[in-house]
Amino acid sequence: MKLHSAALAVLIAASTVALSLPAQAQQAPARKELKRIDMTESPNMEIISSVTEYKPGDELPRHLHHGTEMGYVVQGSMIQLPGKDPTMLATGAPLQNLRDVAHGGFKIVGPASLILFTVHIVDKGKPLYDAAK
């Protein structure tokens, strides 16, 4: 009985904290990793494919990858960089970001979600991305 009471107390505390956070902080973009494989030509690299959905109001912080990122805009949306006018990131647009080059730093201003298909060829054992300085 004590174990159930302790678990319930932790659940209530976690729920209280989650409810006190801003709505934006509660919702992480829905990134779905599709496949992760070793790169046969280079055992220190891996290839990761994924689909990510950014909803209106979500922000894509400035970040970098330890390798190359290539992608395709599956569903476009309006985005806005700080201090700039909104601009359309169009459906069908190709994406490419080079190793250790900061990118992102925009907010999805809608009206639709931005959906990206990405392929990363990155150093194995490192995080998929790091925050840009």
Q: Exposed (0-12), middle (13-18) or buried (19+): which is 119, by Cβ within 10 Å?
A: middle
CATH of the domain at 49: 2.60.120.10
pLDDT tier for residue 29 given thresholds of 50, 70 and 90: confident
> Which residues form the domain of 119?
27-131
The pTM for the full model equals 0.76
Q: Is there a domain that residue 81 lies in?
A: yes
- Tell me if 52 is assigned to some domain: yes
Span 120-131, pLDDT tens digits: 999 999 999 999
Answer whether the bond into residue 86 is a cis peptide, omega within 30°. no
> Rounded mean pLDDT of the chain?
83
Burial of 122 (0-12, 13-18, 19+ CB in 10 A): buried
Contact 128, 122 (CB under 8 A): yes
Could you give the number of structural domains in the chain? 1
Query: By percentage, how much of the chain surpasses pLDDT 70?
Result: 79
User: Cα dihedral sign for 27, 104, 68, 50?
Assistant: positive
39 found inside a domain: yes
Stretch 46-71: mean pLDDT: 97
- For position 28, what pLDDT does the model report? 63
Residue 6 in any domain: the answer is no
Residue 37: pLDDT band (50, 70, 90) is very high
